[in-house]
Amino acid sequence: MNDFISFFTLADANVRFVLLGSLLIGATGGMLGTFAVLRRRSLMGDALAHAALPGVALAFMLTGSKSLPVLITGATVTGVLGVLIIQFIVNNTRIKADAALGIVLSVFFGVGIVLLTHIQGSGVGNQSGLDKFLFGQAAAMVHDDIIVMAVLSVAIIVVVLLFYKEFKVLIFDPKFLQSLGISVRVTDLILMGLIVLTVMVGLQAVGVVLIAAMLITPAVAARFWTQRLHVLVILSALIGGLSGAAGTFLSSQAPRVPTGPVMVLVATSFFVFSALFGPRRGLVQRLRRQRDNELRERRHHFLRAIIELREADPDVHGFTYEVIAAELEWDPARVRREARRLVRAEAAVIDKASGGGSGEVRGDRVRLTQSGTAEGTFIVKSHRLWEHYLVYRDILSADHVDRPADEVEHLLTPELIGRLEEILQREHGLDPRSVVNIHETGSGYRPHGREEVEKEAS
């Protein structure tokens, strides 16, 4: 309980330092991660983090100092060198970007491990703690470290704001950027340089191994919630910052639990939640849309079947479940379920058989209401117009158009139907008011969408 109160009162200076550092790491990582993900450079952060490790070791070997500015400078130098090597390999060889990333990542990381091992075996008195750059140690951050991280974070944000338009065009249309006289390669290098700095900001807290997760995961999570770039950048930075703050809180409540990995786990939980419940791309919404599409298709097939049954026998307006099931080739129980759904939507009415009571019996008949008739007629029209279009354009023969029309009829809007009518009338002299089934049977067809049908029915 004391730890809980201490965290929210920020009475402990170490808690303040770790919290601020985690917020900076999460926010800057999420912001730059957006551009890395959209630029399809998701693994670049991982490669840069591993490329930074030998820089940390070399900076210590040359200066004997473990000061964060010194170590970040060394990490930045080797990180930039890693970017240049990757670009050189991609531009001058047939090796793809992913293979170049793998080469740089493994080679630089191997060199870093060798150098760290050499330092640890050299007997240097103040070498302890360098290995924390592998997995991070947020609790070791002090006031001077926070100052360095804050300066780097502000510099990153300022450069992003200055080059936001160029980065946006680079992501979505590099050729247009080049046509404006702006070098795509230079702009890309600036973006990669910012990613290098972002990785450097998070090395001490999250470490070489996990920093890529703080760069990528918030951006991927935010991608489920919006399609607008500026909103995506802000939301990604917000998710990253919240992940940092939540990771700091959780690690403060559980002794000996490192902050960096907890931050990554919190960011991952944001991703899982977004992947499940995102309004456009989330799994739940996708399943719901799929279910709605299936129900809409069933409804359309049911309505079309009754309209076509009425065409075959105009004097009959209600049909038993068995007759409709035979027309649709459905199970009668499925027909009853769909009929009840249409009744709830006020598109159909079930006329009970004489003496049938309130329960459904074999003699019950389904008939369409005015709105159901209008919708069913429109579906029939959509199906038959598309059949005519496929035949007249010599796309398919008349005996092969029924199934394609079944698939498309659910997607045609009144605007598209009007356009089809115009094309068929202009190119083939087809009278929209006398269109019949392409198999030369009758048609309850009406032109120009459901509105006209409803007007005539009223």
Q: Provide the angle, in degrees to the nearest 10, between the axes of the packed helices 449-457 and 370-392.
A: 140
**285-368: CATH class:** mainly alpha
Helix/strand/coil (H/E/C) assignment for every residue in the chain: CHHHHHHHHCCCHHHHHHHHHHHHHHHHHHHHHHHHHHCCCCCHHHHHHHHHHHHHHHHHHHHCCCCHHHHHHHHHHHHHHHHHHHHHHHHHCCCCHHHHHHHHHHHHHHHHHHHHHHHHHCCCCCCCCCCHHHHCCHHHCCHHHHHHHHHHHHHHHHHHHHCHHHHHHHHHCHHHHHHCCCCHHHHHHHHHHHHHHHHHHHHHHHCCCCHHHHHHHHHHHHHCCCCCHHHHHHHHHHHHHHHHHHHHHHHHHCCCCCHHHHHHHHHHHHHHHHHHHCCCCCHHHHHHHHHHHHHHHHHHHHHHHHHHHHHHCCCCCCEEHHHHHHHHCCCHHHHHHHHHHHHHCCCEEEECCCCCCCCCCCCCEEEECHHHHHHHHHHHHHHHHHHHHHHHCCCCCHHHCHHHHHHHCCCCCHHHHHHHHHHHHHHHCCCHHHCCCCCCCCCCCCCCHHHHHHHHHC
- Residue 150, burial from CB neighbour count under 10 angstroms (0-12, 13-18, 19+): middle
Q: Find tokens 């929210």 and name the residue.
A: 8
State residue 117's pLDDT score.
84
Measured between alpha carbons, how far is residue 177 from residues 7, 41, 91, 169, 187 in Å?
48, 19, 19, 6, 9
Taking only the tens place, the pLDDT of each residue in 273-306 is 999 998 878 999 999 998 998 898 899 889 989 9
Q: What's the CA gap between 396 and 388, in Å, rounded? A: 10
Domain map (residue ranges) of the chain: 2-281, 285-368, 372-457
What phi and psi, each to the nearest 5 degrees, are found at residue 40? 60, 45
Q: Is the dihedral of CA 326, 329, 333, 339 positive or negative?
A: negative
Query: Which pLDDT score is estimated for 104?
Result: 86
> pLDDT tens, 40-87?
877 777 788 888 888 888 888 888 787 778 888 888 888 888 888 888
pLDDT attached to residue 457 = 47
Is the model's pTM score more than 0.85?
no
Q: Which tokens sit at 379?
A: 């579906």
In whole angstroms, what is the distance from residue 259 CA to residue 26 CA?
Answer: 12
Specify the pLDDT at position 442.
37
- Looking at residue 97, what is its pLDDT? 81
Where b means 16+ CB within 10 Å and e means fewer, 269-308 reads ebbeebbeebeeebeeeeeeeeeeeeeeebbbbbbbbbbb
CATH architecture of 2-281: Orthogonal Bundle (1.10)
> By the 8 A CB rule, do 116 and 131 touch?
yes
- Residue 29, CA distances (Å) to 167, 231, 232, 256, 261 in order: 16, 16, 13, 25, 15
Give the other-Cβ count within 10 Å of 20's Cβ: 18
| Structure confidence at residue 223 (pLDDT) | 92
What are φ and ψ of residue 119, in 5° steps? -65, -45
Residue 394 tokens read as 């010599």
pLDDT score at 118: 83
CA angle 341, 344, 348 (to 5 degrees): 80
What residues of the chain score a pLDDT lower than 70?
Answer: 1-14, 123-131, 135-140, 354-362, 394, 396, 398-402, 431-458
Query: CA-CA distances (angstroms) from residue 288 to 156, 280, 284, 291, 410?
Result: 40, 11, 6, 5, 17
